[in-house]
Amino acid sequence: MPAVSFTITTFIRQYLMTSTFHSMKSADAISFLRAMVDGAVQPAHGPEETPPLITLSRDYGGGGEKIADHLARALGVAVYDREILDAVSSNAGVDKYLLAQLDDKVGDLRDEWVLSLLTGQNLLADNYRRHLINVVLAISRHGGIIVGRGAHIILAQRRAFRLRIVGSVERCAVRLAAEGKIDIAEARRQIEYTNHQRSQFVWDHFRQRLNDPAAFDLILNTDRLEAPEQAAAWIAAALPHYGWRPGDGAAVTPSPPAGG
């Protein structure tokens, strides 16, 4: 296999200039994996310079994606959403040698994670889940905002700020209907379905409830908050109380604001 010549930070910067995480192809996912393997060997930051690491769980229609984008701009970090995590985890088997490298590089983190579990279950048996855990642990060494996919559970014993964005079905439906040009009834249906799917994913893979308040450092209700930049400012202001100083962010160009 050819030597890897770029770090995860370099790859993200280049990728954001030419595409969007939502359209990541198999080849891009493998390149991302290679970047993570390289980054795991040579972290871009020392322990005292690690950019903020935030996990963001959200109700559908609550504006979590917009808040993540504004927060990424404020902190100078990248956003890793569900699409990129799924693309990398699902395509990990394409290059088994590369997967073995990543498995080896995050082994110490994964072993620590398994030891922290009290369920007695082997949560690494499923290939997708194992790849997902590896990817999230590798990203955690570089900082950033990880959206969804149970990242708050995977990183429960690590230095991370666990954020959840919530909203009532009624208010989220009004917001979603306006953005998607659909009626309120359809918006409610989509919200209830999506929220159920997200909760089911966390239960199926980690046997934990997504709406458990004890699993988060901050839960923000956006029913009366329509300015995502204000929410991002509040969250950024809270980070120093969790050990991150202003200016800790990596020099990564964040993605442009996304709808939703």
Each domain of the chain, given as residue ranges in start order, spans: 8-242
Question: What residue type is assigned to position 17 of the chain?
Answer: M
How far is 212 from 153, CA to CA, in rounded Å? 11
HSE-up of 112 (CA within 13 Å, CB side)?
11
Sign of CA dihedral 16, 19, 24, 27: negative
Q: What is the pLDDT of residues 117-168, one digit of tens each?
A: 433 444 444 666 777 787 788 788 778 899 988 899 988 888 899 999 999 9
Half-sphere exposure at residue 48, Cβ-oriented, CA atoms within 13 angstroms: 0
Q: Judge contact between 181 and 201, C-beta under 8 A.
A: no
Residues of the chain with pLDDT below 50 are 1-27, 40-45, 94-95, 101-125, 249-260
Phi, psi of 79 (to 5 degrees): -105, 130
Q: How far apart are CA 225 and CA 104, in angstroms?
A: 44
Q: Which residues pair with 64 in a beta bridge?
A: none
E strands, the chain, in order: 53-58, 79-80, 144-147, 161-166, 218-221
pLDDT at 167: 94
The helix (H) or strand (E) run that includes residue 189 is helix 184-206
CATH of domain 8-242: 3.40.50.300
Instruction: Check residue 251 and give its pLDDT.
Output: 35
155: which DSSP letter? Answer: T
pLDDT at 49: 62
Per-residue confidence (pLDDT) for residue 161, from 0 to 100? 93
